[in-house]
Amino acid sequence: MNKFLNLLSLVVVLATTTAIDAAEFTDDNNGMRCAYYNSGFKLQWRQRGGDWSDAAGVAYGDTPYAVAAVQNQRNKMQAIDWDVTELVRYWQNGGETPGGFYLRKLSQDAKSSAQFRSRNFKDSAAHPSLVIEWADGRTTHLQATADSTMTCTSVGALGEGNRITVGEQASIALVFPFVPEPGAVVRRARLQLHSHKQYGPATEVGVFRLTIPADTEQDPQAGFAARFPRDEGIYQHPAVVFATGFESSDWYEEWSASREPASAEPVSEDAANHFAPLSGKALRVTIEQGKKGGLNLLYRFREKTGAEPDAMHFRYYVRLGESWKPLVSGKMPGFAGTYNRAGWGGRRSDGVNGWSARGAYKVASSAQGDAYALGSYIYHADSSTKFGDLVGWNLGNTGLIEKNRWYSVEQYVRLNTPGKADGEVKAWLDGVLVYQRRGLRFRDIPDLHIETLWMNVYHGGVDAAPSDLNLFIDNVVIAREYIGPAAGLGEP
């Protein structure tokens, strides 16, 4: 299956924990734009405007796989071909991001640029095409499944227009449904576009390989939890601060709560939600129809341990129930130091008043239905908005999740040296690193620490839940070092 097309999906069909396992890439409003390779899930490029690798394997390098000159013919239609045999052979031999092209302007004259017909143009004969000639005499003609102008002069997605442009501040991303054929030999391959407008002198356009942050498979990272099958006895590990599986009737007393939350209860079965236990009971969280809050549970470090840390890990397992059909994106568990002053609800973090780094869930719609992803919702002192930064987890398996399956979610926060932008947030999904952000400034004073683990499940935003929504949480561990997925639980 095409790994590149599999990764960028609005339809999540994750059946294993491999890094790339979803359906097709799009160029609609949820697709490519300046900051994101998937706008719907807020999955960021490493470099604004798109990521590429050159023919020498150098990220953002300048050695193209192929070059073609687009002559200024006073806006006459002209077919432009690139010999991309080397790149297609790379994909045929198992190379990464098969079918993904990135076209960049190479000529130095600032006035030169060229426009091409996109896959949306009314005449299909002018659509971008990839023609592959095989050694056995066959010829394969592929049409682009996504194409877009990549420019940061526009914050919106540009993939639904009828033209794509290469210029001083614009490149082109193209995706074709290329699937390697085992045992077959590529004799020749060419990429063809049709230019209908040209500006200035001849425009040299180079072909590069389109890449994305998660184009490489990663192995799950084991932590100390691997030494404690099913998390049994994990609280004995010296790095563990807290561990629970929601098995006791007074489970909430382990937390900083005086009574059981009204919308959360331990359960061992729930047929309507296709529930399957991870290990004994799990905490069922309900966001009731017409409401927004599902869980607002705290673990206060000073109350429970006598001190507030500056760095900490926590891991929990989450399972979206069959009823999980949120209308909008919302909040999930994470660390915080709000001190009831700032770091949530539009209360801007300024380095003195408070901060938070909760998790988040994203929902995006496609023709096949809704899909879900995890991310981070970070209130930090350098945020450009009073509402904090909502970011998707864009590494590894990209934080994409499906319903009716357990996932190990681990998050790490290290607060910055007061006054310096050297804080860090990391996240792992099923043991694979899916997010890492350095250079954060949470605080300017030493009085701010990690005050709480905030077990928050919240719909929105301002929109209420359209129906009762359920998810399940289990095997929560807070620790001073990386925890990793639990051992002995079998396939999630």
* Strand duo 163-166 + 452-458: pairing: unpaired
What pTM was estimated for this model as a whole?
0.76
Question: In angstroms, rounded to a whole number, what is the distance separating the alpha carbons of residues 4 and 25?
Answer: 8
Report the run of H or E that residue 210 belongs to, with start and end.
strand 203-211
- pLDDT digit string, tens, across residues 258-306: 899 999 999 999 999 999 999 899 999 999 999 999 999 999 999 999 9
Contact indicator for 243, 225 with CB cutoff of 8 Å: no
CA quadruple 377, 378, 379, 382: dihedral sign: negative
**Which has the closest alpha carbon to 209: 40, 78, 59, 7?**
59
Contact indicator for 23, 368 with CB cutoff of 8 Å: yes
pLDDT attached to residue 370: 62
pLDDT attached to residue 75: 81
Question: In angstroms, rounded to a whole number, what is the distance separating the alpha carbons of residues 478 and 241?
Answer: 5
- pLDDT digit string, tens, across residues 458-474: 999 889 999 999 999 99
Fold of 224-479: Jelly Rolls (2.60.120)
pLDDT attached to residue 438: 96
pLDDT along the chain (492 residues), means of 10: 36 28 58 82 85 94 96 89 97 92 92 93 95 97 93 78 91 94 96 94 95 72 95 97 95 94 96 94 97 97 98 98 94 98 96 97 65 92 93 75 94 98 96 94 98 97 94 98 90 48
- pLDDT digit string, tens, across residues 321-345: 999 999 999 999 999 999 999 999 9
Domain ranges of the chain: 3-211, 224-479
Length of the chain: 492
pLDDT attached to residue 6: 37
